[in-house]
Amino acid sequence: MKPKRVLVVDDNEDHRLILAYKLRKIGDFEILEAGHGQDALNLMAQQPVDLVFMNLQMPVLDGREAVRRIRSMEGPARDVPIISFTAYIPGSDAEQVFTADCDDYLIKPVIDSGLIREKVLRLLARGRAA
């Protein structure tokens, strides 16, 4: 079986490397990396991905705008599950994440590999939230 392709989008290389490392420890994933939203869009235009981790605050093209553009794409890319991967969630809930049209979120720094595993496996099995 072909490994699932996961795109990790973050302007901080260390954050990308740590998340990629944790993903490789929990499953057989092909990890793609992008340093900002425009890089992510370019990658997704060239090859399909099964799941995206998207930082919301980045230079060049931020994650909210990148997610908006992904959701307006033609074809299956618009339905890819997206987990926001951010250090900032205002208030006590995740309203900002879901108004950004993401399916779930993780708050940086993510230490719990079990939490990552649970979210990734659930979204890969289910696909885009209805």
Q: Model-level pTM? A: 0.89
CATH number at residue 21: 3.40.50.2300
Q: Where are the beta strands (DSSP E) in the chain?
A: 4-9, 29-34, 51-54, 82-86, 104-107
Mean pLDDT, contiguous 10-residue spans, the chain (130 residues): 91 92 92 96 94 91 92 90 79 56 83 89 76
pLDDT at 130: 43
The amino acid at 43: L
Q: What's the domain count of the chain?
A: 1
Which pair of tokens denotes residue 16? Answer: 């990308």
Give me the pLDDT at residue 92, please: 44
Coil, helix or strand for 107?
Answer: strand
Do the Cβ atoms of 37 and 58 come closer than 8 Å? yes
Q: Range of 120's domain?
A: 4-126
Pairing mode, if any, of strands 4-9 and 29-34?
Answer: parallel
